[in-house]
A and B are shown apart, each in its own frame.
Chain A
Amino acid sequence: MDTDDTSTKAQLDLARQLVAYLEAGEEDQASAVIRQLRIPHERELFDELGKLTRDLHEALNSFRGDSRLVELTRDEIPDAKERLNYVVTMTEQATHRTLNAIDEAMPVAETLHSGSLELAERWARFRNRDLSVDEFRDLARDLDDHFAQAGAETERLRSLISEIMMAQDFQDLTGQIIRRVIRLVHEVEENLVGLIRLSSAKMEPAQQPTKAVKEKTAETVDQEAVGTMGHGPVVPNTVDAAADVVSGQDDVDALLSSLGF
């Protein structure tokens, strides 16, 4: 209050001085007083501007520090591209595996089918007493062959169908990889929204990305406390390659047996 009173008094003094100078026609002196009168307002403006600049700078800095955007762009986006490429490769392999089994199974089924039709026709002629003794002897031999062949060939078909079934495991494996990429895209989205909020003049929402990141971390910690989170399949040429992973079932068995399993 005291300072306010003093500054008001000082300004009144200056104003009176200004009137006196103007009445006396001393323009230079009057200008000097006007400049002096402006000083407190200018200081206030500069202070405000300085504060705004500092806030913006701090907000930008804190965003840069907190945000995972840099990490996301530098490491995780290329990593995700590699994961998606792997999905393309896996689905391609699964489709080839399925089509190969079908290519192999189709002629087997066709041979069995035409063989059965041909034998059925001859069997019908035998039932109608249309076959000579020699023809019947041939038919009996061909039937023997057919039964032997049918047993082996249907077993082959069964194993090819089983192969087709196992090839479908790609849906689970690629699905896990794609879900992981979806989570990443979601995270990028959240960070970009934070960035947009920050750059849209208002200062208040600048705290938003920090909050999002903190929540995320808390969530991860929560899950880690319960147990290691699943990662999904190991994808070559990604961060997965750096982890200590097994190369297959034999590796798993060796590890477990070393643990006394």
Chain B
Amino acid sequence: MKILVVDDFSTMRRIIKNLLRELGFNNTTEADDGSTALPMLKGGNFDFLVTDWNMPNMEGIELLRAVRADPELKSLPVLMVTAEAKRDQIVEAAQAGVNGYIVKPFTAETLKEKIDKIFERIEAG
């Protein structure tokens, strides 16, 4: 499984990559905001996108919308891992078609649980 991790803080990208490795996902790539992530996603054969919200240039919510609007990418599972905690924003992400939403600070267990849930749903169709 090929995963793209998008966060403007390299420390957080490393933490997420490490956690994903512990969960058995070794094929991860990093991007530091939406505008660098989007071209990587196009034709990059990614199976899963983990993204932050608050980033320079192109925020995570815009990236999510761009992914959903792209015929090739629209069914890509997207997990948002962000410090954004406003109810409105969570609703906004849900309406934009996010597959999971984790608020920072989070635990390794939460990440595992959400990823499991996302893939269970996808397998169930």
Contact = CB atoms under 8 A, between A and B. Distances in A.
Nearest to A245: B85
Interface of A: 162, 165-166, 168-169, 171-173, 175-176, 226-234, 243-246, 248-249, 252, 255-256, 259, 261
Nearest to A175: B9
B22 interface: yes
Classify chain B's interface size: 35 or more
A232 B55 CA distance: 9
17 contacts: A168-B11, A168-B14, A172-B83, A173-B83, A226-B62, A227-B65, A228-B88, A229-B54, A231-B86, A232-B83, A233-B83, A244-B88, A249-B102, A255-B87, A255-B91, A256-B90, A259-B91
Interface in B81-125: 82-92, 94, 96, 101-108, 110
A234 B85 contact: yes
Contacts of A171: 9, 11-12
B53 interface: yes
Contacts of B7: 172
Given A227-B92, A229-B59, 16 more contacts: A162-B108, A166-B105, A169-B12, A171-B11, A172-B83, A175-B9, A228-B86, A230-B59, A231-B86, A232-B83, A232-B84, A245-B85, A245-B87, A252-B101, A255-B91, A259-B94
Interface of B: 7, 9, 11-12, 14-15, 18, 22, 53-55, 59-62, 65, 82-92, 94, 96, 101-108, 110
A229 B89 CA distance: 9
B104 A252 contact: no
A249 B102 CA distance: 6
A172 B9 contact: yes
A248 B90 CA distance: 12
A243 B84 CA distance: 12
Contacts of B110: 249
Contacts of B22: 162
Contacts of B18: 165
Nearest to A246: B85
B109 to A, nearest CB: 10
Nearest to B106: A249
Which of B15, B22, B84, B88 is the most central at the interface, judged by chain A CB atoms within 10 Å of its CB?
B84
A162 to B, nearest CB: 6
B85 A233 contact: yes
B67 to A, nearest CB: 13
A227 B86 contact: no
B90 A172 contact: no
B66 to A, nearest CB: 10
A172 to B, nearest CB: 4
B102 A228 contact: no
Contact of A172 (B61, B62, B84, B104): B104
Nearest to B63: A227
Contacts of A255: 87, 90-91
Contacts of A244: 86-88
Nearest to A243: B86
